[in-house]
């Protein structure tokens, strides 16, 4: 009997082995023979299996259900090129011409698990990148004439690709010249202007960049390729390799130690994309969205240049243990490269994001009738809920709605005349919390509709009777208010329950599900991956073995039937903003789903505010014409938009120095005008730049609510 079992076991293994051999033998021949091309980085068997399964998911199960055809291939191609060299500083036109052979094949290749052409492009780019850096290293010791009139463009996105190697080298000669000049002009008074020291600093910078680039691996290439792939479908569908998946899930666990900012690499600079409420950067108020961090120092140590670093390496320098100090050299958002960076000193903290709670304050505002009004302000940075506590059956779980209900009760006890909900920069969160929070201001009724991949529409309603606040109410939104924020603001507007103020919201009207890719990898493919013998040394312990996909599975609609997608929520009383729809928000994403409509829900409006909103806008406009603070806002917007997408910097030392001095004096004058308006001491030469906390949009929104109260009384 034992012999029979052994024989069966041997036969089963033999059949399995033959099956695997058959699978390998039947696999399509890769489009590019990477071995023959002598290229360093190659996709693993696991990469091929994953891209094939992702293609299947996107084609058959995502909300958009995109066919893997020529059209999607073209978009993937453009995304890969942009992902590799958005600023057009490394590749030649001849490289782009070479890549054109793959432009119409990516969709079908990925469907078959073939990543060879994408890896070919990545390898060619990597070679060019290292060639440029090595040439730059040579140029550090070359002679540079700083009295010569010439300019340097760091970001060439709208310029043609380099036609020759000579053009490319000239760009990098100018890059080195600018870097040396910048080091000289930005050195502090206590630092001796030593050319030899500046050359050594720059030499170390380029050596570090070369070292970082040399560490690129197949997972780096795979992540860039998969990001280009999923972004071709829609901007919120993302694949994360095991390392990225773990990082993403850790960020969702709501705890981190650092400065409290979400960072992203843009044009070789670490760029601030979000400031986390409650963190050091949020409390300090110096850093802003789209500021660029160019150097980092630990405590009072020397600054380390991080331009061009890998993002994970840069983040490792910026993050750190609670209580330690980090100093940052920062180029403000929209500032030219010639601008002297500001230095920001922050003490790192442990940021517990589940405690990123709603907070309240009361402002006393004098109305145009001469009376004092008390306006309760509730600042809500996100829509949160402690899901683990809910699953454990904890009756005291923490949530947005519970916290806001308590704040409203306390504001009523303090006798406020109106409540203003501040949702600026609130990127969303829990859908259920958006629904329940709306229920604090309306008495039962539908809040949002969700349509799934089968076109089934579910109406989600507030089921609880009664309201927590029935007085004058306003909601402030801006371009970075998204998703759940738009559901809440849209419902308040549709019911006529309050005044929406600010600027048009982001326009994200889609819902994603986060799915572990292991659910889609068959047992046969798992054996195939195991049989390949390839080890992924970069996969951290506890990370999803095959990565994770966040895939769009539904779309939100307001109770009126109008989608929040693309258009966002338009305020009743509008404030100007520097964040245009063409550059920021869902409408700036080429692959974003379109706006559309479905049938409206059955709901009863609380009031029609059309007439009173028109009156509020008239009063608001007249007040703005007389407001110095409004003039400051318009000046800030003009300054932000003045910088073109292709900033050109003078490489003439005297001109650049004069330009920086002009900008410094202009900035001081600008700040002193604001200080004078607020009745604060002026900023004198030699003193550190003063900080002042004045939120014009919040102040004016409170004024509009007071106008609303007065008009209602009439």
Q: Give residue 175's region: left, alpha or beta (phi > 0; psi -120 to 50).
A: alpha
What angle (nearest 5°) sits at the alpha carbon of residue 378, between those of residues 373 and 384?
170
Q: Are 581 and 51 in contact (CB under 8 A)?
A: no
Tokens of 218: 């197949």
Tell me the C-alpha to C-alpha distance, in Å, between residue 576 and each of 559, 566, 569, 677: 27, 19, 15, 20
Alpha-carbon distance of 326 to 306, in angstroms, equals 14
Q: In the β-sheet with 573-574, what is the strand arrangement from edge to edge?
A: 359-366, 372-379, 418-422, 473-477, 499-502, 573-574
Catalytic residue among 126, 483, 601, 650: 483
Alpha-carbon distance of 109 to 96, in angstroms, equals 19
Residue whose structure tokens are 């489009």: 31
Catalytic residue among 508, 587, 601, 701: 508
Tell me the C-alpha to C-alpha distance, in Å, between residue 631 and each of 32, 545, 624, 638, 663: 59, 55, 8, 11, 19
Helix, strand, coil percentages (3-state) for the chain, rounded to 5, are 45, 15, 40
Is beta strand 269-275 parallel, antiparallel or unpaired with respect to 261-266? antiparallel
Catalytic residue among 85, 179, 494, 707: 494
Alpha-carbon distance of 169 to 135, in angstroms, equals 7
Q: Is 103 a catalytic residue?
A: no
Q: Which of 561, 554, 559, 558 is nearest to 593 (CA)?
A: 554
Is beta strand 499-502 parallel, antiparallel or unpaired with respect to 573-574? parallel
Q: Give residue 170's region: left, alpha or beta (phi > 0; psi -120 to 50).
A: alpha
Half-sphere exposure of 62 (CA within 13 A, CB side): 31
Alpha-carbon distance of 462 to 402, in angstroms, equals 14
Alpha-carbon distance of 29 to 48, in angstroms, equals 12
Tokens of 662: 């002009």
* Rg from Cα positions in the chain: 28
Alpha-carbon distance of 150 to 366, in angstroms, equals 56
Q: Is 508 a catalytic residue?
A: yes
Q: Is 483 a catalytic residue?
A: yes
Stated length of the chain? 714
Instruction: List, in sequence order, every beta strand (DSSP E) within 289-352.
Output: 292-298, 304-305, 325-331, 342-347, 349-352
Alpha-carbon distance of 516 to 521, in angstroms, equals 10
Q: Each residue of 593-611: b (16+ CB within 10 Å) or e?
A: bebeebeebebeebeebee
Q: Looking only at Cα atoms, what is the longest distance across the chain?
A: 101
Phi and psi at 374, nearest 5°, equal -105, 120
Q: Which residues are catalytic?
A: 483, 494, 508
């Amino acid at each position: 009997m034992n012999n029979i079992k052994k024989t069966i076991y041997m036969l089963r293994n033999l059949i399995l082995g033959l099956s695997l051999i058959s699978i390998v033998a039947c696999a399509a021949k890769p489009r590019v023979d990477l071995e023959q091309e002598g290229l360093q980085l190659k996709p693993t068997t696991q990469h091929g299996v994953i891209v094939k399964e992702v293609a299947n998911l996107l084609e058959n199960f995502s909300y958009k259900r995109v066919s893997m055809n020529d059209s999607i291939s073209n978009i993937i191609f453009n995304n890969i090129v942009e992902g590799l060299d958005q600023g057009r500083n490394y590749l030649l036109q001849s490289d782009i011409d070479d890549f054109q052979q793959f432009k119409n094949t990516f969709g079908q290749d990925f469907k078959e698990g073939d990543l060879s052409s994408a890896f070919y492009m990545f390898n060619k780019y990597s070679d060019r990148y290292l060639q440029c850096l090595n040439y730059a290293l040579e140029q550090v010791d070359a002679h540079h004439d700083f009295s010569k009139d010439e300019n340097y463009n760091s970001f060439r996105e709208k310029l043609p690709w380099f036609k020759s190697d000579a053009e490319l080298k000239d760009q990098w000669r100018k890059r080195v010249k600018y870097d040396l000049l910048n080091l000289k002009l930005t050195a502090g008074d206590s630092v001796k202007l030593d050319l030899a020291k500046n050359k050594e600093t720059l030499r170390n910078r380029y050596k570090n960049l070369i070292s970082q680039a040399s560490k690129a691996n197949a997972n780096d290439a795979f992540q860039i390729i998969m990001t280009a792939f999923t972004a071709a479908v829609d901007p919120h569908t993302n694949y994360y390799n095991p390392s990225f998946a773990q990082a993403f899930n850790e960020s969702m666990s709501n705890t981190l130690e650092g400065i409290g900012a979400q960072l992203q690499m843009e044009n070789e600079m670490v760029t601030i994309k979000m400031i986390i409420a409650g963190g050091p950067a949020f409390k300090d108020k110096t850093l802003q969205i789209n500021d660029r961090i160019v150097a980092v120092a630990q405590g009072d140590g020397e600054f380390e240049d991080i331009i061009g670093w890998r993002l994970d390496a840069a983040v490792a320098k910026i993050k750190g243990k609670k209580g330690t100090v980090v100093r940052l050299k920062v180029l403000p958002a929209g500032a030219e490269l010639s601008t002297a960076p500001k230095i920001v000193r922050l003490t790192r903290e442990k940021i517990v994001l589940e405690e990123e709670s709603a907070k309240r304050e009361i402002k006393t505002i004098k109305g145009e009738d001469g009376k004092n009004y008390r306006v309760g302000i509730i600042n809500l940075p996100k829509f949160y809920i402690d899901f683990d506590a809910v699953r454990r059956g904890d009756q005291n779980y923490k949530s947005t709605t519970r916290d806001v209900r308590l704040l409203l009760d306390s504001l009523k006890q303090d006798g406020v005349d109106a409540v203003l909900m501040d949702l600026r920069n609130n990127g969303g969160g829990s859908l259920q919390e958006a629904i329940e929070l709306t229920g604090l201001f309306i008495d039962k009724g539908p809040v949002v509709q969700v349509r799934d991949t089968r076109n089934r529409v579910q109406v989600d309603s507030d089921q609880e009777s009664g309201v927590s606040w029935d007085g004058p109410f306003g909601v402030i939104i801006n371009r970075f208010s998204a998703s759940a924020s738009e559901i809440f603001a849209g419902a308040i507007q549709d019911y006529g329950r309050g005044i929406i103020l600010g600027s048009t919201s982001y326009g994200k009207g889609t819902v994603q599900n986060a799915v572990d890719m292991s659910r889609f990898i068959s047992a046969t493919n798992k054996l195939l991956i195991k049989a390949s013998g390839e080890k992924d040394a970069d996969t951290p312990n506890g990370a999803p073995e095959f990565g994770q996909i966040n895939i769009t599975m539904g779309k939100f609609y307001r109770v009126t039937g109008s989608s929040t997608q693309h258009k966002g929520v338009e305020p009743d009383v509008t404030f100007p903003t520097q964040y245009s729809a063409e550059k920021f928000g869902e409408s700036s994403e080429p692959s974003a789903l379109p706006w559309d409509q479905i049938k409206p829900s059955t709901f009863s409006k609380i009031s029609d505010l059309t007439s009173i909103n028109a009156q509020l806008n008239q009063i608001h406009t007249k007040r703005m014409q007389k407001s110095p603070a409004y003039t400051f806002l318009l000046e800030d917007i003009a300054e932000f938009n003045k910088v073109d997408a292709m900033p050109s910097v003078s490489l003439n030392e005297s001109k650049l120095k004069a330009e920086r001095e002009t900008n410094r004096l202009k900035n001081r004058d600008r700040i002193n005008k604001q200080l004078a308006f607020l009745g604060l001491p002026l900023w004198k030469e030699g003193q550190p730049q003063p900080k002042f906390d004045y939120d014009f949009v919040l102040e004016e929104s409170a004024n509009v609510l007071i106008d609303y109260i007065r008009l209602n009384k009439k």
